[in-house]
A = this chain, B = another copy of it.
Amino acid sequence: MIKIAVLGYGTVGSGVVEVIEKNKEMVNKKAGEELEVKYILDLLDFPDDPYGDRVIHDFGTILADDEIRIICETMGGVGKAYEFTKLALQAGKSVCTSNKELVAAHGPELLALAKSNNCNYLFEASVGGGIPIIRPLNYSLTAERIEAITGILNGTTNYILSKMEYEGADYETVLKEAQEKGYAERNPEADVEGHDACRKIAILSSLMTGKNVDYRRIYTEGITGIQPRDFAYAKQMGMSIKLLAISREEKGKTLAMVSPFLIDAGHPLHMVNGVFNAVFVRGNMLGDSMYYGRGAGKLPTASAVVSDVIDCARHIGKVIMCFWDAQEAELAVIDQASRRFFLRVKTEGADRARALFGAGTEKVTLPGVPEECGLITPVMTEADFAESYGKLDGLCVGRRLRLEA
């Protein structure tokens, strides 16, 4: 029997208890031992909950209990969660978490702490919700040099963009609806401004390079300012608009960014709609592979946490390998990254824009919209694009978008 504690009895924490209960037989078989939730730490009481008698308010009880070998940290944030995780690992208790903020901020430190205390810090649920992606990177793609990772890593923004695409609705209307359905927070900034996706690609980039990719240094743009008309152009071009989190090796450095991109209908990420997430990985031997599934939600995320619990149970006293050093990865500045760009200009500005961006610029017009047109530039650097774009002041409409090759 292995006893575990759950920190935070919110959506994911209660999901963890539910998965362990509902799939008891399977979970115990896979763990090789019976698992039992002994404590649930929360600020509140849950007198009507079937697990209400296990709810406690003092982390010290968990820390002092030698029976507790595995702790699920489903609190979120980097305050108490960070403190409790360090104390747990120092005490030789493994920690499994869904907390991408903490993993992105202190991953290497916590992994090193786990290693030196002969226990594990696992975080499958921190990226892509229930999609197995951390473990495939760490255990499966081990014979590969990973060259690039491209992900749709935030369900809220993907839901909003899909709704705008398929229903022609505007951003504010869809955001409001997503908030009412519980798909978006009341303060949606972390999602819509790309901060959540940024932390997730920081984690994946770190595992890709084996070094630390600091999320604060990743160029990040969100989805605000995207208009229904942008989707009309996208459709005309056989494309879709997705918030992509990208990381790739470029001349020995790591180029990481989060931004909305136009992607072609032929790209496997094109079909990833609604709250689904996907991670597209390019290896030097395998080529392209993709991992797709529910990137959020109570049970999918909890399922990933419990898979970590099972892994910890199978490895009591043994350290599971994870290559993520504290050494900072060298990040490429995005100015010199090259790609094509999409912009919209007033009709009277089209000639000037084409003169600036060059003869290879392609023009896209929408039926019934004579006052503006869309332009796709040739491949150029971010810096060159920005310079020319700056010269079109007053002639542009909406915001520019990047094209994913």
Binding site for B on A (CB under 8 A): 19-20, 22-23, 26-27, 29-32, 124, 130-132, 135-136, 139-145, 210, 268, 270-271, 283-294, 299-300, 302-304, 306-307, 309-311, 314, 321, 323
Whole-angstrom distance between the alpha carbons of A141 and B151 in the complex?
20
- In the bound complex, how far is the Cα of B314 from the Cα of A39, in angstroms? 34
Q: Name which of A20, A304, A323 has the most chain B CB atoms within 10 A of its CB.
A: A304
- Check A30 against B321 for contact (C-beta < 8 Å): yes
Known: A286-B130, A294-B287, A294-B289. A303 touches B30 (CB 8 A): no
Complex interface: chain B residues within 8 A of A270 (CB): 271
On whether the beta carbons of B292 and A292 are closer than 8 Å, the reply is yes
Further 11 A-B residue pairs, CB within 8 A, beyond A130-B287, A136-B140, A139-B139:
A19-B285, A26-B145, A27-B142, A32-B321, A130-B283, A132-B141, A143-B303, A143-B310, A287-B299, A287-B300, A290-B290
User: Within the complex, what minimum Cβ distance (angstroms) separates A310 from chain B?
Assistant: 4
What are 12 of the A-B contact pairs (CB < 8 Å)?
A22-B284, A27-B143, A32-B321, A130-B289, A135-B136, A139-B307, A141-B303, A142-B311, A143-B307, A283-B303, A286-B294, A287-B300
A293 with B300, Cβ < 8 A, contacts A321-B314, A323-B30 known:
no
State whether B19 touches A307 (Cβ < 8 A): no
Of the residues B271, B309, B323, contact of A268 by C-beta under 8 Å:
B271
Asked if B285 contacts A302 (CB within 8 A), the reply is yes
CB distance from A168 to the nearest CB of B (A): 19
Docked pose: A141 CA to B307 CA in angstroms: 7
Residues of chain B within 8 A (CB-CB) of A289 are 130-132, 291-294
Cβ contacts under 8 Å, A302 to chain B: 143, 285
B23 touches A284 (CB 8 A): yes
Residue of B140, B285, B300, B303 touching A300 (CB-CB under 8 A): B285
Bound: A143/B15 CA distance, A:
12
- Bound CA–CA A382/B87 (angstroms): 60
A303 touches which of B135, B210, B286 (Cβ 8 Å) = B286
Report the Cα distance A144→B271, complex, angstroms: 25
User: In whole angstroms, what is the CA distance A144 to B305 when docked?
Assistant: 11
Contacts of A310 in B (CB 8 A): 142-143
The chain B residue sitting closest to A18, CB to CB, is B285
Q: Across the interface, which residues of B come within 8 angstroms of A19, CB to CB?
A: 143, 285
The answer for the CA separation of A323 and B139 in the assembled complex, in Å, is: 18
- Tell whether, in the assembled complex, residue A140 and residue B145 are in contact, meaning their CB atoms are under 8 Å apart: no
Residues of B within 8 A of A32 (CB): 321
Neighbouring B residues of A309 by C-beta, 8 Å: 143
